Structure 1
Amino acid sequence: MATSSEIYLELVELSGHVVAKGAWSITLRANCLYHSAHLAKPGRRCRLLQGTREITPFTPLAALDLRLGTCLQVVWLSSSAADRRSHGYAFVAIKENGSVVTWGNAAHGGNCSAVARLLTEGVVQVCGNDSAFAAIKASGSVVTWGDANYGGNSSAVALLLTEGVVQVCGTNGAFAAIKANGSVVTWGDAACGGNSSAVAPLLTEGVVQVSGTDGAFAAIKADGSVVTWGSAEAGGNSSAVAPLLTEGIVQVCGNNFAFAAIKANGSVVTWGGAEHDGISSVLAPLLTEGVVQIYGTKYAFAAIKADGSVVTWGRAGNGGNSSAVAPLLKEGVVQVCGTNFAYAAMKANGSVVTWGDADHGGNSSAVAPLLTEGVVQVCGNDFAFAAIKADGSVVTWGDADHGGNSSAVAPLLKEGVVQVCGNDFAFAAIKANGSVVTWGGANYGGNSSAVAPLLKGDVVQVCGNHSAFAAIKADGCVVTWGAANYGGNSSAVAPSLTEGVVQVC
């Protein structure tokens, strides 16, 4: 029971699941609530909403209007530091009874008929790579389907996947499963990390987190050490920095071809292949302490430090060189988001700073007056950015054909937007009234006119893959649009998507 000096709150997902609840001191700011949410899904970023009002990490708890209730809505963002953007070609829906429905490109996981009898109940989580899916069941067992060469066939390790699995992570063509005893099981394309035999003795216990690049894995152990395997050119060989990875690692982030690890003392260690430029001697002194978060684009990294400054490295054309905006990145940055080629940093004052490839989001000068204040979320697809402002309006920039130009739907984006989701080529915005607005590559989900009557209200979640979208409505039905062969057309399984869906991935 909260006292007069405390405030009782519940953090609730769109599905109705309570992420966290309890009493917090009224003298605190909302960053304590974000921390509680992140404990539920480590590495994931989220937004907190009270009705349609954005609760930022800097919002004083004393400023919350309890007349609106004690429930805050948790909206998990589509991209994160821990999870690279999905480029899959199919969708999977988990229903409230634990069954699974799949559609999209059959060769890439859209057809699960071979294992359908194992997916009729008990599924609690699904992880996908580019060509296959792996489902964790309540029993701790794992079921896989999709391209056999890239993780869709796990028969070689089947006996190790019958129980105890708590997390699955994917590269482009392989999977790694963490078990409750801290061991790791891998399968799929050996060149993408599917074969971990070279480091097997190090993966029998103590693993607490696994991250991936396109072709390699990095596992953090409870003692703070890191174990890597997979393609050396993609970060699978960390021997050059091995002495620095024996202890103290608290986070590992991967881009396409390299890893960056944060140590408990705030320093950074990087390794990877030829596509990774590494940390220059000029930048190295800036990364010896104080780093709290790292974000990766295709070939670059950006690190946020405790003082709110940002340090970048890697390919200049992918955001690795931020010297042109360096004075604006010395303080106050609270979030960084990337396309494949550029970065956007949101500052505590609600302004946005961009850098990287000018044509793909690195140059926001055309909308600069709209980005000086009030921004509460930035979302990127492969080629463009979309920013939500506190008044519910949306600002876009980057490649015009792939979401950087939203003028065709501008009147619909002036107010009420609470979430934006991107696939590779387009964006979809959910409004407070549950309607959806889309723009970008018309054939890839930017044009939703074919299903427009179904998107006028009650949408609670939108998920994007390579070139299509799927929306869950409040009654548990699913609406799809975009490239038909990649999941935009779900007519083949339509009767199974009319009710009861709680998650789409």
Structure 2
Amino acid sequence: GEREITPFTPLAALDLSLGTCIQVVWLSSSAAGRGRCVSRAFAAIKANGSAVTWGGAHYGGDSSAVAPLLTEGVVQVFGTAHAFAAIKANGSVVTWGTAHYGGDSSAVAPLLTEGVVQVCGTDHAFAAIKANGSVVTWGSAADGGNSSAVAPLLTEGVVQVCATLGAFAAIKANGSVVTWGDAADGGNSSAVAPLLTEGVVQVFGTAHAFAAIKANGSVVTWGDADYGGDSSAVAPLLTEGVVQVCGTAGAFAAIKANGSVVTWGSAADGGNSPAVAPLLTEGVVQVCGTAGDFAAIKANGSVVTWGDAADGGNSSAVTPLLTEDVVQVCGTLGAFAAIKANGSVVTWGKAHWGGDSSVVAALLNEGVVQIS
């Protein structure tokens, strides 16, 4: 049968009979969770490799134009704000949705027939990495869909692409970084170009800024200063020892090798952590973000939260359940869910974004091994 589901549909309301397996992709770009959320279309990958879509036609909910290509072999689906791109088992890509926002890839179709291994999206454009290390882009030129200015640098050697809402950053095998797209969103990295010629191992994004970890443990930032692009206030703490960076819509949090955490960017989005600073000086092993706040797991299994109280930055309602044994934390746009060692789940934050799990509480008391 069929039924409509939304981000607010409780799992208990779904009839998932034995043998039925679906993966639902809620339309969102790679910058989702960092300031934009669109709940107007879905794409579901079924166990047989087919894809089913529904929701707003102009947002990718109508895939009838490419339906014959989605009957089998689909392995991954990615989204911009108004379109989807599916990678098939043969390495080809199928796109649909609003044409100028990534739904129409006809201009680069010959390059998407085979060999694609990763797709990443801004709000209105896609970038695909091929097995030969080249990058193919399409969609809104202003949001990264036109990479002609850096095309010679994207013909080989690209190993990772990261996005903000309007720009892409690609890491090459030699450790250099190439950026393009909206300059205000990090597409222009000229101010830090000398620091991005070698040694970069990872790049992360907020809505409008990037942060790169280098092999020596230092961090380089660029993009909108108010969204994490300016880390000068904490620069002395980012010269070495950084092992992980996580972003919200407007702030970054970096874990250092000594277990301490450094934050910068929009205070409202978790960039200012003085209220919990004494708890972040050591022992932190993981940091996860929603749109406006962070949650850190410590080595003793406790959880520390900060940022926008409404989005999960205030976990006081479940504090007794977060003092020990937490092994994983996952965030939506406005809520967190934590798995404990006994397989139970604790949730907090905005109720309609998953912070209230009371409807399925009986199913979350034990046996949970992963949340995504």
Confirm whether residue 361 of structure 1 aligns to residue 361 of structure 2: no
Report deviation, 1:375: 1.1
Partner of 1:103: 54
1:191 and 2:142 are equivalent in the alignment: yes
Q: CA deviation at 1:371?
A: 1.2
- Of the three residues 318, 322, 325, the one matched with 1:374 is 325
Q: Is the CA contact (8 Å cut-off) linking 2:345 and 2:364 kept in structure 1?
A: yes
User: Is the CA contact (8 Å cut-off) linking 1:278 and 1:314 kept in structure 2?
Assistant: yes
Q: Deviations over 1:267-311 (max 9, x none)?
A: 000011254244444411111111111110000001111121111
The corresponding residue for 1:124 is 75
For residues 298-447 of structure 1, what are the structure 2 equivalents within 5 Å? 298-400=249-351, 402-406=353-357, 410=361, 413-421=364-372
Q: Which has the larger radius of gyration?
A: 1
In 1, distance between residues paired with 2:115 and 2:231?
Answer: 42
* Equivalent pair of 2:209/2:225 in contact (CA under 8 Å): no
CA–CA separation in structure 1 for the residues paired with 2:129 and 2:355: 39
CA-CA distance at 1:380 after TM superposition: 1.9
Partner of 1:133: 84
User: What SS does structure 2 have at the residue aligned with 1:195?
Assistant: coil
CA shift, 1:379, in A, is 2.1
C-alpha distance in structure 2 between counterparts of 1:419 and 1:115, whole Å:
33
TM-score, with structure 1 as normaliser: 0.64
SS in 2 for 1:205: coil
Q: How does 1:139-288 map to 2 (within 5 A)?
A: 139-273=90-224, 275-288=226-239
Shift of 1:162: 2.1
- Which secondary structure does the structure 1 equivalent of 2:153 belong to? helix
For residue 248 of structure 1, report the CA deviation from its aligned partner: 0.4
Moved more, 182-191 or 163-172: 163-172
Cα 1:286–1:410 shift into 2, 3 Å = same
Contact 1:128 1:170 (8 Å CA) reproduced: yes
Write the distance in 2 (CA, Å) between the matches of 1:419 and 1:166: 24
How far apart, CA to CA, are the structure 1 residues paired with 2:293 and 2:352? 16
| Distance (Å, rounded) in 2 between the aligned partners of 1:320 and 1:200 | 34
Query: Would the aligned equivalents of 1:337 and 1:380 in 2 still touch at CA under 8 Å?
Result: yes
1:326-354 Cα offsets, whole Å, 9 max, x none, are: 11111111111111111110111110011
| 1:88–1:128 contact (8 Å) kept in structure 2 | no
Q: How many residues align?
A: 341
Cα distance in 2 for partners of 1:386, 1:160 equals 40
Report the residue type matching 1:209 in the other structure. Q
Q: 1:349 to 1:103 in 2, by over 3 A?
A: same
Counterparts of 1:413 and 1:136, CA distance in 2: 33
Residue by residue over 1:150-194, the C-alpha shift from the partner in whole angstroms, topping out at 9 and shown as x without a partner, is: 100011111222222221111111100111221111000112111
Q: Deviations over 1:69-119 (max 9, x none)?
A: xxxxxxxxx9xxx87447453222334443332222222112211112223
* CA contact 1:211–1:217 (8 Å) conserved in 2: yes
Show structure 1 runs of 5+ residues with no match: 1-77, 422-505
Superposed displacement of residue 378, structure 1: 1.6
SS at match of 1:283: helix
- The AA in structure 1 aligned to 2:236 is P
Q: CA RMSD in A?
A: 2.2
Q: How far apart are residue 254 of structure 1 and its match? A: 0.8
Tell me the distance in 2 between the aligned counterparts of 1:372 and 1:197: 51
DSSP-derived class of the 2:227 partner: coil
Shift of 1:404: 3.4
Q: Is the 8 A contact 1:88 1:108 kept in 2?
A: no
Counterparts of 1:350 and 1:396 in 2: how far apart (Å)? 16
User: Would you say the 8 A contact 2:210–2:228 is kept in 1?
Assistant: no
Are the equivalent residues in 2 in contact too, given 1:88–1:131 (CA < 8 A)? no
Partner of 2:21: none
The DSSP-based 3-state class of the residue aligned with 1:362 is: coil
Could you list the runs of 5+ residues in structure 2 that have no partner in the other structure? 1-25
- 8 Å contact kept, 1:88–1:130: no
Partner SS, residue 304 of structure 1:
strand
